[in-house]
Structure 1
């Protein structure tokens, strides 16, 4: 069954009258009833709301797909509604609503229609055509063209003898992971290749590679900023790069991967079991950036939880967690213990442990984590924990490799006793006798220097940190600034964290403001994407700025840096601190010492970014504004 068979002229409303989600649902259900496609409006509406209460059917990109199966449905149907100015649907700004109605026994058809429609609506050009359509006939034509294109794409895929597979994984698993996967898919399809990319996102691996995928692959790309399990690739040679390179240079990476000719050079299976990771790990063993980001990604939840819990404790009074104080409150004591005594105490060991894990797998976890705990106890803190992670990880890796030729009957003893024992001895001696004393002295010096910063000196540091945070939006400069902020956070110095969050929030919010205030400088598609950037920026997801920076780097990136630097300078000059370095607007009320001033710093930086963009970008003609391709496929 085709979509055009069930989306008829009578099922299309180009100008919805409703101004909210409930009114729009009523309007679409009434349309189904008036066309005699359902026989009980109330029953079907209950089924729609039951699905909405489970999870909102707003899918992003200005689209919602409410759907339900019900006895009241006479035959599978889709009704489309459009509201050009948009409504709030499930907390998201939405312009296009497609309501799917299916009989109760039409499960396969229901899922097939939902899947097909969802796939079409991921295409920004298809969405733009629907938004711009002036009649029901034009909507039908757009859908027909998209279905024909899908058939053509499938024929092209089937006819190609080349198959690209890959894995993508970024530190947070929110944006870069999926952007890299999409970029690789687009580049592969432009070559007529079949493609499957596993995304290791925040919800775990999706679209998992199977043994058949790996066996049939002609090219493999692994793009990651954190450790991924490459043992599943059966020893085949693959391109190993950071996520950002896959976003920006997908075609070159595929070309490189194809040059490996992995079907001709695949090693024997019995050899794979012993050597499958040796070559990739040797190449990436000194990739300090990747190992640090692996540790930081596991550490961040402890930092966030600890910071928020301590901030909640302080809301009851500065000394409310102290049993000997008149302010004592048992709830405050609970939050203080869970946040400060537990979560914060685990930060450095977790950082060190997962740096070691990134280097040497499970063998590196125990020695590195023990070294991290010694760093925490011995006063060398965050920086000492990083060193402990590397020493423990590389010690475990070296000892494991040195004992590779021991008979297999003793390998179990090697892995559970000899490797962790010897590597822990190495890292322990190093931390206790060599590193902790000088590193703790360095930390004390840094803490004293930072605590003594006031006025112009504090402003300069704030500008530097926030400007670095805004510069490459998730790249190495951004991560370097983040690492410094986390080090200071672990030392109970919270002002740099505030400046860093300003630098991360300003770019997407500033760009969003620019798309609202200077609409004639952006395409219609960019203006729509700008609405999502408000939410992303408020949530401290800097990646919302990336599509705009990629499309116009010479204007957008300097504007981001300047706005972020001004906001960060104001933040530190005003002595604003933040005890939860992640979470955006959601943590400001409880974790910031001066929440209103802090929001003012963010708005100041965002407005500066906005007006620089508006000044530097030239107005577009109506023809250029309607060009949905200007931002590319990253939106």
Structure 2
């Protein structure tokens, strides 16, 4: 059979493309043709309409509303979450085959109401409250991450070059003390110092959008377009009062529900036309502004200040324990909500941390990135050392996992966790936790929010960082090999016992 599929996930990064690869591979293995359209963070790789017309069925493996859904109208369709396509591609394909054989065209397949302009998330109305909250939160995080990556790496490059421009380790302090307006007014393209100022200012501007974007798109996920204005205003207010990331979370949810409530008011026909452009943004922005500037802003800011003071006071065993905890979180669900909580905790700290070279937040960022690299690297190593313990598809995934792990893409280990959840997750948590603790113990620091080994020049105590990654990778690979070996021996013993029982019976 011929199938077309659409994959998308809230962040539009890893799961989108892993689901596509899984569906294509399982289709080829079964003698079917599966052409996938990925609707990810870098855009949509659209399928030609002639290919859609020739298809027997459609697979939507998406956690977001499918863009251009009407293109697939009239085809037998199944609609599943993107994680099912990653974890259970064979079952998803079997369901698609059954849908084609039944010939039933679902209402969802012919719906064209979304057209790519609907809410940012696809929330099942029957889903649990916790699931919907996770989807709203992940929407905000997905839009925030590009700002974090761009701004953080630009700032890190500025700090790195400033050591050359000012001739010393205090270059990062020097570049921040320069009058940026004066430099830009008399910019000298031959001056490395001036370029450092431009990089720093550009990165700071990008970082300045971090909390407003997080807040705005959480509100957007809840209330669609009416949530954007109060969400961004609330995020800006959170930054103004010093409430930071936590304030942005509060205003995002508050703005979304307030805008949703106002948008459902029953108003006279003459007022309906101005509701989306005047009434909703005016009233919701006013409400969120009062909430953050007058009511909640100061308490949340005090909490954030307390957190910063606590982090700065950590040393010795305390900071190593924090590294172990964050490392375990990074290795637990491999790009899922717990992993993203640890990562977001690290990157938002970069936006507010001082410039001390041994600042706690820089150590936290190093520990989080190192721990996030371990699982895919370990799976790649394990498939190389003990090929017989893994399937052919897993061995192929292992080759790609080398690059994914080196680039700090934890999701590279998901195909292995999907095939053997508890053994892979236990191994990942153990090795990642060890790496997080070791990075803290070695005192490694990082001022860039992403990049893996490609930002090695931006890592303080980089030898310790690499040593922690290697040790964690070896631990995870050893544990997963041991657990899988014990599994296979147990299976052999079970077969032997069954055979002996059959002989006795005979």
Aligned residue for 2:173? 319
CA contact (8 A) 1:320 1:333 kept: no
Matched, 1:402 2:269: no
Matched, 1:472 2:311: no
Q: Distance in 2 between matches of 1:461 and 1:285?
A: 31
Aligned residue for 2:144? 299
CA contact (8 A) 1:548 1:556 kept: yes
Question: Which of 469, 481, 496 is 1:602 aligned to?
Answer: 469
Question: Which of 192, 198, 203 is 1:339 aligned to?
Answer: 203
Question: Which of 218, 237, 240 is 1:355 aligned to?
Answer: 218
CA contact (8 A) 1:381 1:490 kept: no
CA contact (8 A) 1:371 1:388 kept: yes
Question: Which of 448, 452, 455 is 2:313 aligned to?
Answer: 452
5+ residue gaps, structure 1, are 1-155, 158-163, 622-635
What SS does the aligned partner of 1:329 have? helix
Aligned residue for 2:238? 375
Deviations 1:505-563 (A, max 9, x none): 01111222233344454456644543332211111122222223333334332222111
Deviations 1:200-241 (A, max 9, x none): 124311235969969x998764522x5655875899999775
- Taking the TM superposition and a 5 Å limit, the aligned residue runs for 1:234-633 are 242-249=81-88, 263=105, 283=125, 287-315=132-160, 316=162, 317-321=171-175, 322-323=177-178, 329-340=193-204, 342-403=205-266, 406-407=268-269, 410-492=271-353, 493-519=361-387, 521-522=389-390, 526-590=394-458, 592-618=459-485
Deviations 1:413-441 (A, max 9, x none): 22211111111112111111222111111
Q: Using structure 1 for the length normalisation, give the TM-score.
A: 0.62
Kindly name which structure, 1 or 2, has the bigger radius of gyration based on alpha carbons: 1
Q: Distance in 1 between matches of 2:113 and 2:412?
A: 45
What SS does the aligned partner of 1:582 have? coil
Q: Distance in 2 between matches of 1:380 and 1:234?
A: 45
What SS does the aligned partner of 1:540 have? coil
What SS does the aligned partner of 2:460 have? coil
CA contact (8 A) 1:218 1:262 kept: no
Aligned residue for 2:496? none
Residue 618 (structure 1) shift: 3.1
Residue 362 (structure 1) shift: 2.3
CA contact (8 A) 2:68 2:112 kept: no
Q: Distance in 2 between matches of 1:511 and 1:266?
A: 38
CA contact (8 A) 1:521 1:617 kept: yes
Residue 335 (structure 1) shift: 1.9
Question: Residues 370 and 551 of structure 1: is their aligned pair in 2 closer, same or farther, counting only changes over 3 Å?
Answer: same
CA contact (8 A) 1:352 1:390 kept: yes
Q: Distance in 2 between matches of 1:305 and 1:394?
A: 30
Q: Distance in 2 between matches of 1:612 and 1:270?
A: 49
Residue 373 (structure 1) shift: 0.5
Deviations 1:121-159 (A, max 9, x none): xxxxxxxxxxxxxxxxxxxxxxxxxxxxxxxxxxx55xx
CA contact (8 A) 2:70 2:111 kept: no
CA contact (8 A) 1:510 1:606 kept: yes
CA contact (8 A) 2:11 2:143 kept: no
5+ residue gaps, structure 2, are 163-170, 181-190, 354-360, 489-506
**Structure number with higher helix proportion:** 2
Q: Distance in 1 between matches of 2:296 and 2:78?
A: 37
Residue 385 (structure 1) shift: 0.6
What SS does the aligned partner of 1:402 have? coil
Question: Residues 355 and 185 of structure 1: is their aligned pair in 2 closer, same or farther, counting only changes over 3 Å?
Answer: same
Q: Distance in 2 between matches of 1:182 and 1:529?
A: 10
What SS does the aligned partner of 1:587 have? helix
Question: Residues 415 and 188 of structure 1: is their aligned pair in 2 closer, same or farther, counting only changes over 3 Å?
Answer: farther
Deviations 1:240-278 (A, max 9, x none): 7542133224566685996999847589999999x998x
Q: Distance in 1 between matches of 2:241 and 2:80?
A: 36
Q: Distance in 2 between matches of 1:292 and 1:359?
A: 10
Deviations 1:456-479 (A, max 9, x none): 111111111111111221223222
Residue 370 (structure 1) shift: 0.9
Deviations 1:26-59 (A, max 9, x none): xxxxxxxxxxxxxxxxxxxxxxxxxxxxxxxxxx
Q: Distance in 1 between matches of 2:315 and 2:246?
A: 24
Deviations 1:573-616 (A, max 9, x none): 333222222111112312x2222221121112112122223434
Q: How many residues align?
A: 453
Q: Distance in 2 between matches of 1:266 and 1:515?
A: 41
Matched, 1:173 2:12: yes
What SS does the aligned partner of 1:320 have? helix
Indicate the structure whose relative CO is greater, using CA pairs within 8 Å and at least 6 residues apart: 2
Aligned residue for 1:627? none
Question: Residues 300 and 280 of structure 1: is their aligned pair in 2 closer, same or farther, counting only changes over 3 Å?
Answer: closer
Deviates more, 1:371-380 or 1:581-590: 581-590
Q: Distance in 2 between matches of 1:513 and 1:272?
A: 44
Q: Using structure 2 for the length normalisation, give the TM-score.
A: 0.76
Q: Distance in 2 between matches of 1:394 and 1:213?
A: 38
CA contact (8 A) 2:375 2:410 kept: yes
- Taking the TM superposition and a 5 Å limit, the aligned residue runs for 1:223-242 are 223-224=62-63, 229=67, 232=70, 242=81
Q: Distance in 2 between matches of 1:524 and 1:271?
A: 42
Deviations 1:93-115 (A, max 9, x none): xxxxxxxxxxxxxxxxxxxxxxx
CA contact (8 A) 2:37 2:47 kept: yes
